[in-house]
Amino acid sequence: MKIDSIQNGIVLDHITAGMAMRIYNHLHLDKLDCSVAILQNVKSSKMGKKDILKIDQEYDINLDVLGYIDPNITVSIVKNGVTVEKKKVALPKKLINIKTCKNPRCITTIEPGITQIFRLVDEENRTYRCIYCDADK
Amino acid sequence: MKHLIDSTDLSVQEIDELMDLALDIIEHKDKYSEACKGKKLATLFYEPSTRTRLSFEAAMMELGGNVLGFSSADDSSVSKGESVADTVRVVGCYADVIAMRHPKEGAPMRASMVSPVPIINAGDGGHNHPTQTLTDLLTIRRERGAMKGFTIGLCGDLKFGRTVHSLIKALSRYEDIHYVLIAPNELRLPAYLIKEVFEDQGIPYEEVLTLEEAIPKLDLLYMTRVQRERFFNEADYVRLKDTYILDKKKLKSAKPDLSILHPLPRVNEISPEVDEDPRACYFRQAMNGKYVRMALILKLLGVTI
């Protein structure tokens, strides 16, 4: 199967197979008025199979969201059909308004307009802790 | 120090400075009697806690300051649906420092993000109660003379007891302290705390099932309540409850200079007959709560004498 290269936009490569739709939804890519290609189960020498997302528009991508969902993703910025920058994402130290706290005793469950903030406490196990109530995610 | 939300926010040096100040207040009460003249403390208590609120108010009054506030959510604008953030923005226009108790965990943290004046966490649900921890630390320092070289037993509900969790976290930063954890299997200290506080830091501790086997070796005994509702079945509660009640008989095998602490309120875990024993420190502990809050208010307001 062949998908055209993009001229100006972003390619998210090395997405763990099966994760592309989750990223699509978290980044709200359905709100964009441009072509977005979702490739699933693409053969990969390194990963066996992987997903790829291609966004045919310049777009200020939230790297923290990507890092939280799948820290192995490679982000390529494409201009005039050429990759001008490659970014490796990493597990973010903080999650801001990416997840909501599920602890029913947490102030975030009742306080209007509060910013949901989690901090990374265990990189190996990818554990985040709510800064308000200390509940783990 | 801008706010006090969690006792672990404080460095050992900051805690020691607070203790030194509290001890100076105890020694020279007159010197501090007008230290906060013209200043106001707001006590925003979204749930009742007479003991803690009165301790804060007495602390401010002894510093020559004034107090205002509410003692339950029903009396406040929260009953009209106002957010914590808006409440402290407004109260911060009237008061110089705010002590907040709230049933929701993290409410004082939220308040500290927007408040124009210092926020003191006076208890947020089952989460943190840092001024209780400071009270416990001051009591230990006064009773033992130093924050090292003792064996402390923590008895009762070590699973859900937030005062115990905060206290061991704070104490673990001091050296040469041995810990004896006295609890039924149902109420053992959570594994993550055993790992984080003791094992990862190489701090010696032991776990025992009964108060009797622990008491002879203790220099300090921190009692907490074992609540019936924490047990999976009634039979276990009935079988174990007396094990965790301190009475004269159990104290017979204790050291003559043992210090008995309890965050209060006590229900039946310490028999009233123990109250007359000079080793019972829990009412002196309550008094220390006022002094440590006085020291904290002075620090947060930047008042020096």
Mind spelling out the 3-state secondary structure of A84-128? EEEEECCCCCEEECCCCCCCCCEHHHCCCCCCCEEEEEECCCCEE
Q: What is the mean pLDDT of residues B119-137?
A: 95
In the sheet with A94-96, reading across from the earlier edge strand, the strands are A94-96, A117-122, A127-130
Does residue B81 carry a pLDDT above 90? no
Is A122 a domain residue? Answer: yes
Q: Is residue A53 part of a domain?
A: yes
Q: Is the pLDDT of residue B301 over 80?
A: yes
Segment B209-227 shows an average pLDDT of 93
Instruction: Round to whole Å and give the CA distance between B181 and B187.
Output: 10
pLDDT computed for residue A1 by the predictor: 63
| Residue with the larger pLDDT of the pair A108 and B237 | A108
Examine the domain organization and report whether B163 and B234 are in the same domain: yes
* C-alpha torsion sign, points B272, B275, B280, B285: positive
Q: Are residues B254 and B135 in the same domain?
A: yes
Per the domain annotation, does B1 fall within a domain?
Answer: no
Range of the domain at B241: 131-285
Answer yes or no: do A29 and A65 share one domain. Answer: yes
Catalytic residue (one of B43, B52, B87, B139): B52
Q: Residue A2 has what pLDDT? A: 66
CATH of the domain at A63: 3.30.70.140
Residue B56 resides in a domain: yes
Q: Tell me the pairing of strands B97-102 and B66-70.
A: unpaired
Residues B102 and B203 in one domain: no
Rounded to whole angstroms, the Cα distance separating B245 from B105 reads: 30
Residue A136 in domain: no
A22 and A66 co-located in one domain:
yes
Interacting residues of B129 by C-beta distance below 8 A, sequence separation 6+: B121, B122, B123, B162, B163, B166
How large is the angle between the packed helices B50-62 and B130-144, nearest 10 degrees? 70
Residue A79 domain flag: yes
pLDDT of B235 reads 84
CB contact under 8 A, B104 and A110: yes
Predicted local distance difference test score (pLDDT) of residue B72: 85
Q: Is B52 a catalytic residue?
A: yes
Tell me if B105 and A131 make a contact (CB, 8 A cut-off). no
**Residue A2 counted as domain residue:** no
Q: Is A16 contained in some domain?
A: yes
Q: Is residue B156 part of a domain?
A: yes
Residues B195 and B237 in one domain: yes
Sheet containing B119-124: give its strands across: B66-70, B40-45, B97-102, B119-124
Report the Cα B193 to chain-centroid distance in Å. 18
Residues from B contacting A (CB-CB < 8 Å) are 83-85, 102-107, 109-110, 124-127
Query: Which of these three, A73, A88, A103, is where a domain ends?
Result: A88
Closest to A108 (Cβ–Cβ): which among B85, B106, B125?
B106
Query: Does residue A26 lie in a domain region?
Result: yes
Could you tell me which residues are beta bridge partners of residue B280?
Answer: B260
With contacts defined as CB-CB under 8 Å, which chain A residues touch B110? 107, 111, 114, 132
Among candidate residues B39, B53, B110, B129, the one labeled active-site is B129
What mean pLDDT, rounded, does chain B reach?
Answer: 93
Residues in A closer than 8 angstroms to B126, CB to CB, are 105
Nearest neighbour of B110 by CB, restricted to A103, A114, A134: A114
Q: Which residues have C-beta within 8 Å of that of residue A1, sequence separation ≥ 6?
A: A39
Dist CA A112 CA A107 (whole Å): 10
A106 to B109: CB separation less than 8 angstroms, yes or no: no
Same domain as A81, residue A21: yes
> What integer is the mean pLDDT of B208-223?
96
Closest CA to B139 of B160, B120, B161, B167: B167
Cα–Cα distance, A76 to A85 (Å, whole number): 6
Q: Which residues contact B106 (CB under 8 A, 6 or more apart)?
A: A106, A107, A108, A130, A131, A132, A133, B124, B127
Digit-coded pLDDT (tens) for B233-261: 788 778 777 778 999 999 999 999 999 99
B197 with B226, same domain: the answer is yes
Residue B32: which CATH number?
3.40.50.1370
B269 and B157 share one domain? yes
Instruction: Give the count of beta carbons closer than 10 Å to the beta carbon of residue A130.
Output: 25
User: Residue B107: its chain A contacts at CB < 8 A?
Assistant: 107, 111, 132
Q: Are residues B267 and B191 in the same domain?
A: yes
* Residues A86, A75 contacting (CB under 8 angstroms): yes
The token duo for B66 is 């004034």
Question: Each residue of B17-70: pLDDT tens digit?
Answer: 999 999 999 999 999 999 999 999 999 999 988 899 999 999 999 999 999 999
Size of the A and B interface in Cβ pairs below 8 Å? 48
Residue B84 is nearest to which of A106, A107, A130, comparing CB atoms? A107
Do residues B147 and B279 share a domain? yes
Contact at CB, B102 and A108, closer than 8 angstroms: no
Tens digits of per-residue pLDDT, A53-107?
Answer: 999 998 888 899 999 999 889 999 999 999 999 998 999 999 999 999 999 999 9
A80 and A50 in a common domain: yes
Q: Does B234 share its domain with B103?
A: no
Q: Are residues A16 and A74 in the same domain?
A: yes
Element (H, E) at B258: none
The answer to whether residues A77 and A118 belong to one domain is no
Nearest CA in chain B to A132: B106
Distance (Å, whole) CA B261 – CA B281: 5
Closest-CA residue in chain B for A117?
B110
Helices B130-144 and B162-171, packing angle to 10 deg: 60
Q: Is A50 left (phi over 0), alpha (psi -120 to 50) or beta?
A: beta
Does residue B241 sit in the same domain as residue B169? Answer: yes
Average pLDDT over residues B116-129: 94
Q: Are A33 and A63 members of one domain?
A: yes
Please judge whether B105 and A114 are an interchain contact, meaning their C-beta atoms are less than 8 angstroms apart. no
Cα separation, B63 vs B33, in Å, equals: 5
| Same domain assignment for residues A83 and A103 | no
Q: Are residues A79 and A52 in the same domain?
A: yes
Residue B2 lies in a domain: no
In the predicted model, what is the mean pLDDT of chain A? 92
Nearest Cα residue to B37 out of B60, B68, B3: B60
Range of the domain at A35: 9-88
CA distance B296 to B298: 5
| Torsion region of A94: left, alpha or beta (phi above 0 gives left; psi -120 to 50 gives alpha) | beta
More confident residue, A2 or B252: B252
Specify the number of domains making up chain B. 2
Q: Is residue A42 part of a domain?
A: yes
Provide DSSP, B157-207: -TTT-HHHHHHHHHHTTSSSEEEEEE--GGGPPPHHHIIIIIITTT--EEE
Least confident range from B139-143, B232-236, B286-290: namely B232-236
Q: How many domains does chain A contain in total?
A: 2
User: B169 and B67, same structural domain?
Assistant: no
> Nearest CA of chain A to the CA of B282: how many Å?
29
Nearest CA in chain A to B114: A114
pLDDT above 90 coverage of chain B, percent: 79
Q: Answer yes or no: do B106 and B140 share one domain.
A: no
